[in-house]
Amino acid sequence: MPEPTFDPDETVRDYPRTSGESVVTSQRSGAGWMAPVALALSVLAAAAAGLNNDQPAPAPEAPEVHNVFSANATAENPKATACKAVALVADGVSLQSRIDLGPEPAALETVAANTRLSMVGGAAYLRQNTPSNTPAEIAEPIAALATQLQDAAQYFFVGQTSSVPEQAERLKTAAATSEKLAGLCK
């Protein structure tokens, strides 16, 4: 049995074709108005775009810079730059962990979340803002403190509280490193 053949021209039309009529003519007969309308709309859109080009583009806003150190400070005194980063992080963690929003569970969880965030953010900030030419006597404890803050925060994220002995030890170690850095940064 021969396979049926498919003629795509037959599916386009549902009426008989005259001998001189092309497939293109039969396809356009119902939608012949679309091309001129599309052309008119594109001309209008181009004209509108041209009118908008006459207006100056809005000036981009300068991004806020949150880095408290100048580029020269790093080159001039890497120890001072690193110590400023340590002080900023220590102040942030201390502030966020000591806020008293009340005894409600939501308030306590808010303080805990801000503490975790300040620890993780502080660890990243220390790593990013400790110049590569910082003396090892300062750079090594800063790297240790960044790791200690990040570790403690991660254990807070999984539900360990400061009453868990291992977590209490992590916090004690981070506090000791922070105190050591305060002494080195005087």
> Tokens in use for 47?
């004209």
CA dihedral 83, 88, 94, 97 (to 10 degrees): -140
Residue ranges making up the domain that contains 115:
72-184
Q: How confident is the model at residue 61 (pLDDT cuts 50, 70, 90)?
A: low
Q: What percent of the chain has pLDDT over 90?
A: 56
Nearest Cα neighbor of 148 from 115, 128, 175, 125 is: 175
> Predicted confidence band at 143 (pLDDT cuts at 50, 70, 90)?
very high
- Number of domains making up the chain: 1
Mean pLDDT of 87-92: 94
pLDDT for res 37:
57
Q: d(Cα 65, Cα 67) in Å, to the nearest integer?
A: 6
- Is 34 a domain residue? no
Q: Is the pLDDT of residue 54 over 70?
A: no
Residues 183 and 87 sit within 8 Å (Cβ to Cβ): no
Count Cα atoms within 13 angstroms, Cβ side, for 84.
Answer: 14
The pLDDT, as a whole number, for residue 76 is 77
| Residue 87 belongs to some domain of the structure | yes
Structure tokens at 101: 């929003």
**Mean pLDDT, residues 40-66:** 53
Q: Is pLDDT above 70 for 139?
A: yes
Asked whether residue 130 carries a pLDDT value surpassing 50, the answer given is yes
* Mean pLDDT computed over every residue of the chain: 77
Report the pLDDT value the prediction gives residue 68, as an integer from 0 to 100.
Answer: 45
* Residue 160 counted as domain residue: yes
